[in-house]
DNA sequence: GTAGGGTTAG
């Protein structure tokens, strides 16, 4: 009965639009009054909270003085504000509180501070605002002053709050305060640790928990995913299922993110069919995670199918789709989709522009990219980030407009970062401009002296122009500076199992077969007139010590394994942690022709779709 | 008759 009475008030956000005029609200208000449905204080509180949470804050405030003030009403208001789009308003309401706050009030304030901190850290790539950090401290201090800091809800909230502002010391202190932490408190700590990248400590805590519920499992899962340990995340998911823990949306989203990271398409598709077969509702978050998984596994058609089937799309959805098209080399489609997005009134943010600019870059759409960059400021009033400047340099440089790239850098209103010089360096490599490359390298190493990828790029530039002295100079430079190259690793999924290959590694159980296959591949390629680029092989900086190492580059090993194990006609999908080297790229193109196989190779930052001897990147990467 | 922990884009 009581629940039915509450209906009109709690349903308010859906009854009236956020832009409804006061007259319409008065009508509803009058109706509720006359029918007696606002008689009890709790219904009144619900009504006020509903108004506040549907952006009718001013009307909600009008209602406040109409009754004797109750904490219920005011706390409801605080809750609505803390959860709303402007959590800061909760503090204003708190200051005007006509009654002494209780422990409920403080959970809402802690929540508001947490949301503010989260918003601040996602808006910019820099560490969270000092102001938000101070705010968190003062909320906590106020809770102490009012004697409500010992409440379990406030305490676990404080742990999450300090994690959101990135204050590791405060997180530990807040957790240490808790006399007898329950599952929720420990899980909050778990989440805080893994958000700070300290998954191993989080795991210890997790293993020590007397019993873990599904939220604790999820916190652990996302911890692994966040630091890029996708394999462990999937392993944990297996354990979770064995333990019979209920699998909900949050779990699946994390699992999909792990699949996306690893390029584990089969596992990702398993999640998709799991969702479908159980008739689960595909929420925006789940849909976006699915779409992103497909893009990052190189299956753009499925990604777009998911996108089109979604009934609700937020900025993450749009940006993920745009970015998927961009990284799969579909620049025109990316721009098209961006226009569609603009026409729906969805406002792009900085991340969206990164995606669109990258789309322009892969397709060589210089003018469009320039227009897009300009529209950021003019039309969308968004200040470009360093990333956007980097994208522009990449756009000009990749298209061969090296002068434009240099002029663009010179006209930047902010100091260029390593990404900008890295983009110029890469452009120099594509267009064989050793002098410009040297300049970019000089600038880059002044900022980041030990960038291994940059050293490899420069060496490639020298090797390309047969400047072997230059190559060995770079090699010595790396030695003397102690620059360690991250070992190349290629992964391929077969029957749901991901196999990893490192350069020249012979440890795979089927190495003998792989070796035989590699020999067969070389033989077939030679018949087709392919000659390995032997001079460059000798100076391949990635593997100078190993004889013939280039023929054992990780992507070649994975490719051979794929040819052995995957039935004819299926696409071979390989995920590499670094960029593909030129020789492997040429080699793979040939393989796609000679073996008549479609090969999809995911690079460090984009996709190569090989088919009939050509690559979707048009040899610009 | 109000609360707390886990979920998507670079």
Q: Report the nearest residue to nucleotide B10, CA vs C1'.
A: A351
For residue A435, being part of any structural domain is answered with yes
In a domain, A442, yes or no: yes
A254 CB-to-strand B distance under 7 Å: yes
- pLDDT, tens digit (0-9, with 9 covering 90-100), for A7-60: 444 555 555 565 667 777 787 788 778 877 777 666 776 677 677 666 677 777
Rounded to whole angstroms, the distance from the CA of residue A69 to the C1' of nucleotide B1 is 15
Protein CA at A337 to nucleotide C1' at B7, angstroms: 25
Among A438, A463, A485, the domain boundary falls at A485
Nearest to A453 by CA among A422, A428, A414: A422
User: What is the per-residue pLDDT across A292-309, written as a single tens digit (0 to 9) for each?
Assistant: 999 999 999 999 999 999
Burial of A345 from C-beta contacts in 10 A (0-12 / 13-18 / 19+): exposed
Residues A463 and A501 in one domain: no
Q: Which two tokens stand for residue A10?
A: 């709690």
CA-CA distance, A422 to A406, in Å (whole number)? 13
The nucleotide whose C1' lies nearest the CA of A192 is B5
Distance A376 CA to B2 C1' (A): 43
Which nucleotide is the nearest neighbour of A605, by CA and C1'?
B10
CA of A222 to C1' of B8 (A): 12
Q: Where would I find the H helices in A364-465?
A: 366-378, 386-398, 402-410, 418-430, 434-447, 452-464
In this structure, the answer to whether residues A496 and A567 fall within a common structural domain is: yes
The reply to whether A171 has its C-beta less than 7 Å from any atom of strand B is no
State residue A449's pLDDT score. Answer: 75
- The DSSP letter of residue A414 is S
Co-location of A466 and A565 in the same domain: no
Band of pLDDT at residue A466, cut at 50, 70 and 90? confident
Residue A475 CA to its chain's centroid (Å): 34
Lowest-pLDDT choice from A129-133, A196-200, A224-228, A336-340: A129-133
Same domain, A444 and A555: no
A140 CA → B6 C1’, Å: 23
Q: How far is the CA of A71 from the C1' of B1 (A)?
A: 11
pLDDT at A442 over 50: yes
* Predicted pLDDT of residue A239: 96
Domain span at A466: 404-485
CA of A435 to C1' of B8 (A): 43
Does A500 share its domain with A455?
no
Domain-terminating residue out of A485, A510, A528:
A485
Q: Is the CB of A50 under 7 A from strand B?
A: no
Element (H, E) at A572: strand A572-576
Say if residue A467 is in the same domain as residue A534: no
* CA A76 / C1′ B2 distance in Å: 6
Quick one: pLDDT band at residue A455, thresholds 50, 70, 90? confident
* Closest nucleotide to A388, Cα to C1': B10
Number of domains in chain A: 2
Distance between the alpha carbon (CA) of A10 and the C1' atom of B2, Å? 13
The answer to whether the C-beta of A248 is closer than 7 A to strand B is: yes
Closest listed residue to residue A499, CA positions, set A578, A567, A581, A554? A554
Nucleotide nearest to A248 (CA to C1'): B7
What is the distance in angstroms measured between the alpha-carbon CA of A523 and the sugar C1' of B10? 42
CA-to-CA dists, residue A152 to A165, A183, A186, A220, angstroms: 20, 11, 11, 21
Helical H runs in A465-581? 468-481, 511-527, 534-538, 554-565
A156/B5 CA-to-C1' distance in Å: 8
Contact A486, A475 (CB under 8 A): no
Percent of chain A with pLDDT over 70: 90
Q: Please say whether the beta carbons of A573 and A297 come within 8 A.
A: yes
Query: What does each C-alpha distance from A259 to A29, A194, A229, A272 come to in angstroms?
Result: 50, 19, 11, 11
**Within a domain: A154:** no
For residue A72, give the nucleotide whose C1' atom is nearest its CA: B2
Residues 337-366 of A with CB under 7 A from strand B: 349-352, 354-355, 358
- pLDDT band of residue A454 (cuts 50, 70, 90) is confident
Tens digit of pLDDT for each residue in A472-507? 888 888 888 888 888 889 999 998 888 999 987 788
> Parallel, antiparallel, or unpaired for β A599-602 and A572-576?
parallel
Q: Is the CB of A156 under 7 A from strand B?
A: yes
User: In this structure, is the CB of residue A154 within 7 Å of any atom belonging to strand B?
Assistant: yes
Report which of residues 269-288 in chain A place their beta carbon less than 7 angstroms from any atom of strand B: 283-286, 288
pLDDT at A120: 82
Is there contact between A115 and strand B, defined as CB under 7 Å from any strand atom? no
Chain B bases near protein CB atoms (7 A cut-off): 1-10
CA of A111 to C1' of B4 (A): 9
At A517-541, the pLDDT tens digits run 999 998 998 888 777 654 444 445 4
Per residue in A93-115, pLDDT (tens digit) is 999 999 999 999 999 999 999 99
Cβ of A319 less than 7 A from strand B: yes
Q: Answer yes or no: do A408 and A470 share one domain.
A: yes
- A31 CA vs B8 C1’ separation (Å): 40
| pLDDT score of A195 more than 50 | yes
A381-413 per-position pLDDT tens digit: 889 999 999 999 999 999 999 999 999 999 999
A 207-236 residues, CB < 7 A, strand B: 213-216, 218-219, 222, 225
Among chain A residues 373-412, those with CB within 7 Å of any atom of strand B: 385, 387
Per-residue model confidence (pLDDT) at position A8:
44
Could you tell me if A462 and A548 lie in one domain?
A: no
* Predicted pLDDT of residue A255: 97
The CA distances from residue A17 to A54, A64, A86, A343, in Å, are 8, 21, 18, 21
Answer yes or no: is A113 within a domain. no
Residues A493 and A481 in one domain: no
pLDDT of residue A546 exceeding 90, the answer is: no
CA→C1' distance for A542 and B9 (Å): 32
- C-alpha–C-alpha distance, residues A433 and A401, integer Å: 12
Please say whether the beta carbons of A409 and A378 come within 8 A. Answer: no
A538 touches strand B (CB under 7 A): no
How far apart (Å, rounded) are the C-alpha atoms in residues A532 and A584? 10
Tokens representing residue A44 in the block: 């009144």
In a domain, A347, yes or no: no
Rounded CA Rg of chain A: 28
Specify if A445 maps to a domain.
yes
> CA A466 – C1' B8 distance (Å)?
46
Do A454 and A548 lie in a common domain? no
Residue A224 pLDDT: 96
Nucleotide nearest to A249 (CA to C1'): B7
Of A434, A454, A485, the domain-final residue: A485
Residue A96 lies in a domain: no
CB contact burial A541-576 (16+ within 10 A = b; e otherwise): bbbeeeeebbbbbbbbbbbbbbbebbeeeebbbbbb
CATH for A433:
1.25.40
- Find the helix packing angle between A152-164 and A183-195, rounded to 10°: 10
For strand B, is any atom closer than 7 Å to the CB of A292? yes
Tens digits of residue pLDDT in A115-163: 999 888 776 544 557 888 899 999 999 999 999 999 999 999 999 999 9
| Nearest nucleotide to A355, CA against C1' atoms | B10
A266 touches strand B (CB under 7 A): no
The nucleotide lying nearest A214 (C-alpha to C1') is B6
Regarding whether A502 and A608 lie in a shared domain, the answer is: yes
- Residues A475, A546, single domain; the answer is no
- Which phi and psi angles does A608 have, rounded to 5°? -120, 120
- pLDDT bracket for residue A582 (50, 70, 90): confident
**Residue partners of A341: CB distance under 8 A and separation at least 6:** A318, A322, A348, A352
A320 phi/psi in degrees, rounded to 5: -65, -40
- Distance separating the N- and C-terminal Cα atoms of chain A: 65
Q: Return d(Cα A571, Cα A597) in angstroms, integer.
A: 7
pLDDT tens digit sequence for A351-375: 999 999 999 999 999 999 999 999 9
Please, what is the average pLDDT of chain A?
88
């Amino acid at each position: 009965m009581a629940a039915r009475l509450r209906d009109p008030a709690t349903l308010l956000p859906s009854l009236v639009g956020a832009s409804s005029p006061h007259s319409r609200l008065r009508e509803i208000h009058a109706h509720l009054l006359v029918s007696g449905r606002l008689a009890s204080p709790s219904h009144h509180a619900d009504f006020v909270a509903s108004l506040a949470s549907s952006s009718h804050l001013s009307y909600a405030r009008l209602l406040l003085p109409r009754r004797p003030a109750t904490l219920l009403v005011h706390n409801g208001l605080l809750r609505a504000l803390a959860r709303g789009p402007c959590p800061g308003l909760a503090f204003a309401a708190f200051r005007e509180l006509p009654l002494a706050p209780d422990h409920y009030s403080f959970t809402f304030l802690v929540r508001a501070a947490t949301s503010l901190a989260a918003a601040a850290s996602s808006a910019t790539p820099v560490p969270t605002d000092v102001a938000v950090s101070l705010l968190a401290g003062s909320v906590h201090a106020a809770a102490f002053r009012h004697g409500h800091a010992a409440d379990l809800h406030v305490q676990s909230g404080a742990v999450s709050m300090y994690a959101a502002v990135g204050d590791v010391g405060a997180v530990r202190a807040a957790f240490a305060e808790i006399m007898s932490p329950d599952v929720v408190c420990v899980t909050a700590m778990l989440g805080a640790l893994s958000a700070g990248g300290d998954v191993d400590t989080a795991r210890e805590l997790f293993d020590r928990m007397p019993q873990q519920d599904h939220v604790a499992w999820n916190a652990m899962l996302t911890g692994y995913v966040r630091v890029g340990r996708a394999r462990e995340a999937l392993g944990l998911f297996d354990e979770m299922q064995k333990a019979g823990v209920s699998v909900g949306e949050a779990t699946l989203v994390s699992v999909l993110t792990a699949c996306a990271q690893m390029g584990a398409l089969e596992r990702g598709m398993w999640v998709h069919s799991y969702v479908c077969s159980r008739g689960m509702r595909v929420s925006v978050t789940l849909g976006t995670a699915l779409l992103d998984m497909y893009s990052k596994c190189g299956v753009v058609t499925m990604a777009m199918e998911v996108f089109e089937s979604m009934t609700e799309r937020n900025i993450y959805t749009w940006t993920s789709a745009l970015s998927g098209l961009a990284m799969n080399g579909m620049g025109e489609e990316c721009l098209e989709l961006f226009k569609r997005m603009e026409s729906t009134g969805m406002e792009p943010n900085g991340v969206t522009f990164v995606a669109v600019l990258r789309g322009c870059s892969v397709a060589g759409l210089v003018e469009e990219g320039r227009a897009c960059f300009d529209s950021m400021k003019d039309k969308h009033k968004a200040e470009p980030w360093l990333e956007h400047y980097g994208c522009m340099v990449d756009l000009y440089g990749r298209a061969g407009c090296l002068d434009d790239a240099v002029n663009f850098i010179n006209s930047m209103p902010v100091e260029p970062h390593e990404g900008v010089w890295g983009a110029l360096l890469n452009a120099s490599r594509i267009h064989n401009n050793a002098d410009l490359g040297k300049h970019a390298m000089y600038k880059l190493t002044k900022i980041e002296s030990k960038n291994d990828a940059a050293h490899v790029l420069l060496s490639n530039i020298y090797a390309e122009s047969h400047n072997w002295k230059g190559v060995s100079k770079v090699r010595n430079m790396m030695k003397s500076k102690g620059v360690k190259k991250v070992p190349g690793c290629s992964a391929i999924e077969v029957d749901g199992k991901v196999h990893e290959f490192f350069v020249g590694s012979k440890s795979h159980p089927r190495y003998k077969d792989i070796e035989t296959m590699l020999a067969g591949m070389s033989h077939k390629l030679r018949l087709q007139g392919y000659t390995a680029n032997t001079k460059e092989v000798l100076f391949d900086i990635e593997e100078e010590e190993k004889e013939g190492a280039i023929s054992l580059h990780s992507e070649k090993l994975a490719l051979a394994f794929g040819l052995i194990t995957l039935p004819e006609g299926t696409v071979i999908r390989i995920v590499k942690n670094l960029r593909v080297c030129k020789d492997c790229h040429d080699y793979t193109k040939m393989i796609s022709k000679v073996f008549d196989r479609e090969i999809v190779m995911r690079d460090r930052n984009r996709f190569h779709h090989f088919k009939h001897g050509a690559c979707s990147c048009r040899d610009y990467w």
